[in-house]
Amino acid sequence: MKIAETVTFAGGGLDRAAEWRATAADRARHADSRVIVLWQGKPLMDDAGLVMLPPDHPILDDAAPDWLMLGRVDGAAVFAADLSGWTPQDDADTGALNSFMDASLQVHPALPGGPAFAELRGVMTRLTPLEAELSATARAMFMWHASHRFCANCGTASDLAMGGWQRNCQTCERHHFPRTDPVVIMLITHGNSVLVGRSPGWPERMYSLLAGFVEPGETLEAAVRREVLEESGVCVGPVRYLASQPWPFPASLMCGMAGEATSREITIDPAEIEDARWVTREEMAEVFAGQHPQINPARKGAIAHFLLENWLADRLD
Ligand SMILES: [Zn+2]
């Protein structure tokens, strides 16, 4: 797919400067380094986009001491600092945290009246590709560090190393690396129709492409055929890769695939999805125009929206 890297969170072109990772701790205090800040996975944003601060900014007094070195931008190292230990004064609505629905903004007293922490899925389509890549990388990495503080081999507390791209165990000397979990998300077509489904708990009328985690020992193609059969009872023949999207909620790599159905009858697995249906190209055009009586489109910024939009426009090649 020629325009694969125009999906949200792709095409940022970040220079990850791996050769600087061993000296990241020293670079963190360089005056020309820049720091992005996240609170509970929410990047600090202002009207212009992602906020980059100098390493001596007072807000960083509230950050965890281990910063991540994300890469190099305009010749300077860019770090990410985690402010999750800070408690906002106006934390009235924390129930929606880590959900698509979180519209709350948190303002830190060191930046009064200025930027605020915002849910990444709510602002992702406003970011430049580079800002999106920096934010997604930082969010995924902080989530990984938070849930991998102990060595998976021997259980000892491990230490962050290499600018956050590694954790080392001093007891058994194992090195651990950040993980990304592959997920297949598939545009399954049969003639002029595409297969969509909805999961329990989704906003009313929202339908999207079927998706599922790739299992150990499985190819992307096999995962597509298995997931579609399990969830909808539809058999899939030829499968091909279209585009991928890093999706740091918390650590997925969405692999957008196209598959041709060889059967049409739908039998859903109610444990996995609530409904699945075939939608014609004409109906999907109505969905995207907001004029379909029963279906709302997949969320903008998500790869499902991207794939469906390009299927409609006949731009999958
Ligand atoms: Zn160990």
Report which of 118, 76, 82, 127 is spatially closest to residue 100, judged by C-alpha positions.
Answer: 118
How much distance in Å is there from the Cα of 250 to the middle of ligand 1?
Answer: 24
How much distance in Å is there from the Cα of 155 to the middle of ligand 1?
Answer: 6
How much distance in Å is there from the Cα of 71 to the middle of ligand 1?
Answer: 28
Q: Tell me the C-alpha distance between 31 and 169, whole Å.
A: 31
Q: Rounded to whole angstroms, what are the CA distances from 169 to 149, 175, 254?
A: 10, 6, 30
Output the DSSP codes for 159-186.
EEEGGGTEEE-TTT--EE----EEEEEE
In which band, very low, low, confident or very high, does the pLDDT at 93 lie, cut at 50, 70 and 90?
A: low
Q: Which residue has the tokens 């999750």?
A: 84
Q: Rounded to whole angstroms, what are the CA distances from 139 to 40, 43, 163, 258, 278?
A: 9, 8, 15, 28, 35
In which band, very low, low, confident or very high, does the pLDDT at 197 lie, cut at 50, 70 and 90?
A: very high
Whether pLDDT at 225 is above 70: yes
The pLDDT value given to residue 90 = 67
- Helix %, strand %, coil % for the chain, to 5? 25, 30, 45
- Residue 66's Cβ-count burial label (10 Å; 0-12, 13-18, 19+) is middle
Query: For the chain, what is the mean pLDDT?
Result: 95
Rg of the Cα atoms in the chain: 21
How much distance in Å is there from the Cα of 165 to the middle of ligand 1?
Answer: 17
Rounded to an integer, the average pLDDT of 98-106 is 84
pTM: 0.94
How much distance in Å is there from the Cα of 148 to the middle of ligand 1?
Answer: 12
How much distance in Å is there from the Cα of 69 to the middle of ligand 1?
Answer: 24
Whether pLDDT at 92 is above 60: no
How much distance in Å is there from the Cα of 51 to the middle of ligand 1?
Answer: 37
How much distance in Å is there from the Cα of 310 to the middle of ligand 1?
Answer: 47
How much distance in Å is there from the Cα of 233 to the middle of ligand 1?
Answer: 44
Query: Model confidence over 42-83: pLDDT tens digits?
Result: 999 999 999 999 999 999 999 999 999 999 999 999 999 999
How much distance in Å is there from the Cα of 68 to the middle of ligand 1?
Answer: 22
How much distance in Å is there from the Cα of 138 to the middle of ligand 1?
Answer: 25
Chain Cα centroid distance, residue 137: 9
Whether pLDDT at 18 is above 90: yes
How much distance in Å is there from the Cα of 144 to the middle of ligand 1?
Answer: 17
How much distance in Å is there from the Cα of 114 to the middle of ligand 1?
Answer: 43
In which band, very low, low, confident or very high, does the pLDDT at 298 lie, cut at 50, 70 and 90?
A: confident
Percent with pLDDT over 70 in the chain: 98
